[in-house]
């Protein structure tokens, strides 16, 4: 990483149909930020998608898609709606500003602008964006293990359920419950139990290989793995990998009546399209039932 990289505070996309305006903003911001640019609205949306800027400085009047349309399109796209937009425009009327804020802009700067003011406003929006990102991340994460929490899991499960139903794709779930964990706490203490949960969580994270896979802490010593687009055979392979991964950790469990080391019981269930007459609760329930079957038949195993 070069020193200029270290000096970057944010990645900013400047959108303007006049190269001259882009150059002025580039000059104003380049010492503090990485500055990208687009000369029209369609290109701006492409770059927002591929470059994931932290902030967009958007011209209002452009041929083709104007700034208001670009802003509305950003707000309508779940992957892009959190990128803040500041209008930088020759328009000066209160109606123009109101319209920009109503389209979802966070700020409105009229030209001619003062460079120091633009820098300050950019900094302040980046700070707000960072805080919002951190809050969002926190609200999705289990604080002990760092994997997704149940709330975040439920949200993703609903979204993947709809997506897989629409696309006619299978959806698999693996429920994972640590064996005799009450006895682990009794023997080693609650703090050691916490560390064990962290170790197991971290090891299992590596088992969810594809970007759409999601590991979450479902509650207490129970985890769940969501595998969109994974049929029964593939899900069983992943479950076996999780089981082996936990075994290989060889975390001593002297209090366990079934094994010298920490183990888990896993239940797998796959929903095949069409998903009619079913819901995501049923998917979880079925995986849970398989997990209990694994418990009853001796623990430290996978039931499908
Ligand atoms: P089984 O093999 O049947 O699953 O037995 P178990 O003891 O694992 O199951 P049980 O549901 O009886 O007990 C779960 C235990 O997990 C009890 C609870 O204290 C412990 N536990 C839940 N959350 C945490 C946590 O965050 N930290 C620690 N240390 N223990 C936890
Ligand atoms: Mg223009
Ligand atoms: Mg349990
Ligand atoms: Mg348990």
pLDDT at 209: 83
pLDDT(156) > 60? yes
Q: What is the pLDDT of residues 62-90, one digit of tens each?
A: 999 999 999 999 999 999 999 999 999 99
The best mutation among 187, 188, 221 to test binding of ligand 1, ranked by most ligand atoms within 8 Å of the C-beta, falls on 221
pLDDT(91) > 90? yes
pLDDT at 4: 45
pLDDT at 208: 83
Name, in order, each residue with C-beta under 8 angstroms of 295's C-beta and a sequence gap of 6 or more: 177, 179, 265
Q: What is the pLDDT of residues 95-129, one digit of tens each?
A: 999 999 999 999 999 999 999 999 999 999 999 99
Residue with tokens 């936990």: 246
Q: What is the pLDDT of residues 220-244, one digit of tens each?
A: 999 999 999 999 999 999 999 999 9
Q: Which ligand is nearest to the CA of 198?
A: 1
The stretch 174-178 carries a mean pLDDT of: 98
Cβ of 30 below 6 Å from ligand 1: no
The stretch 176-197 carries a mean pLDDT of: 98
- β-bridge pairing 55-58 and 11-15: parallel
Active site residue ranges: 221
Atom of ligand 1 minimally distant from the CA of 191: 29
- β-bridge pairing 302-303 and 264-271: parallel
pLDDT at 3: 42
Q: How many residues can be counted in the chain?
A: 304
SS3 130: helix
Q: What is the pTM of this model?
A: 0.85
pLDDT at 7: 55
| C-beta separation of 41 from 69 below 8 A | yes
181 CA to middle of ligand 1, Å?
A: 4
222 CA to middle of ligand 4, Å?
A: 7
Contacts 24+ apart (CB under 8 A), 233-241: 234/172, 235/172, 235/173, 235/174, 235/268, 235/270, 235/304, 236/268, 236/302, 236/304, 238/174, 238/207, 238/208, 238/209, 238/213, 239/174, 239/266, 239/268, 239/302, 239/304, 240/302, 241/207
26 CA to middle of ligand 2, Å?
A: 16
Q: Which ligand is nearest to the CA of 258?
A: 1
Across the chain, mean pLDDT equals: 95
Buried b / exposed e over 142-156, threshold 16 CB at 10 Å, is: beebebbbeebbeeb
Cβ of 220 below 6 Å from ligand 1: yes
User: How far does CA 31 lie from the centroid of its chain?
Assistant: 30
**Dihedral angle of Cα 150, 215, 253, 260, to the nearest 10 degrees:** 140
- β-bridge pairing 85-89 and 107-110: parallel
Alpha helix ranges (H) inside the chain: 3-7, 19-29, 41-51, 67-76, 94-102, 115-140, 150-167, 181-188, 190-205, 232-249, 280-296
Q: What is the pLDDT of residues 142-151, one digit of tens each?
A: 999 999 999 9
User: How far does CA 247 lie from the centroid of its chain?
Assistant: 29
SS3 187: helix
The stretch 136-164 carries a mean pLDDT of: 97
Structure confidence at residue 276 as a pLDDT band (50, 70, 90): confident
Q: What is the pLDDT of residues 6-50, one digit of tens each?
A: 456 899 999 999 999 999 999 999 999 999 999 999 999 999 999
- β-bridge pairing 214-219 and 171-178: unpaired
Q: Say how far apart CA 144 and CA 222 lie, in whole Å.
A: 13
242 CA to middle of ligand 4, Å?
A: 15
The stretch 273-283 carries a mean pLDDT of: 91
pLDDT(135) > 60? yes
Please report which helix (H) or strand (E) contains residue 230, including its range: none
């Amino acid at each position: 990483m070069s020193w200029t990289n270290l000096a970057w505070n944010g990645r900013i996309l400047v959108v303007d149909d006049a190269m001259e305006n882009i150059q002025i903003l580039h000059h104003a911001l380049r010492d503090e930020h990485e500055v990208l640019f687009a000369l029209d609205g369609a290109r701006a949306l492409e770059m927002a998608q591929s470059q994931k800027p932290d902030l967009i400085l958007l011209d209002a009047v452009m041929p083709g898609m104007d700034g208001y349309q670009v802003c509305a399109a950003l707000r309508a796209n779940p992957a892009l709606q959190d990128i803040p937009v500041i209008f930088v425009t020759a328009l000066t009327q209160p109606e123009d500003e109101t319209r920009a804020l109503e389209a979802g802009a966070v700020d409105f700067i009229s030209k001619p602008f003062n460079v120091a003011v633009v820098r300050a406003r950019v900094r302040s929006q980046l700070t707000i964006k960072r805080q919002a990102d951190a809050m969002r991340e926190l609200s999705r994460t289990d604080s002990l293990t760092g994997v997704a929490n149940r709330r975040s899991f439920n949200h993703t499960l609903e979204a993947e359920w709809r997506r897989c139903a629409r696309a006619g794709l299978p959806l698999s779930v693996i429920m994972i419950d640590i064996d005799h964990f009450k006895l682990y706490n009794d023997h080693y203490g609650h703090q050691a139990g916490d560390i064990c949960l962290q170790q197991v969580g971290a090891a299992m994270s590596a088992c969810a290989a594809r970007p759409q896979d999601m590991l979450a802490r479902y509650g207490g010593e129970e985890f769940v793995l969501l595998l969109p687009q994974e049929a029964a055979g593939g899900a069983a392979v992943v479950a076996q990998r999780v089981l082996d991964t936990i075994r290989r950790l060889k975390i001593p469990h002297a209090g366990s009546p079934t094994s010298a080391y920490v183990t888990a019981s896993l239940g797998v269930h796959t929903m095949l399209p069409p998903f009619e007459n079913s819901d995501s609760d049923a998917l979880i329930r079925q995986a849970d039932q398989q997990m209990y079957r694994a418990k009853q038949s001796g623990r430290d195993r996978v039931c499908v």
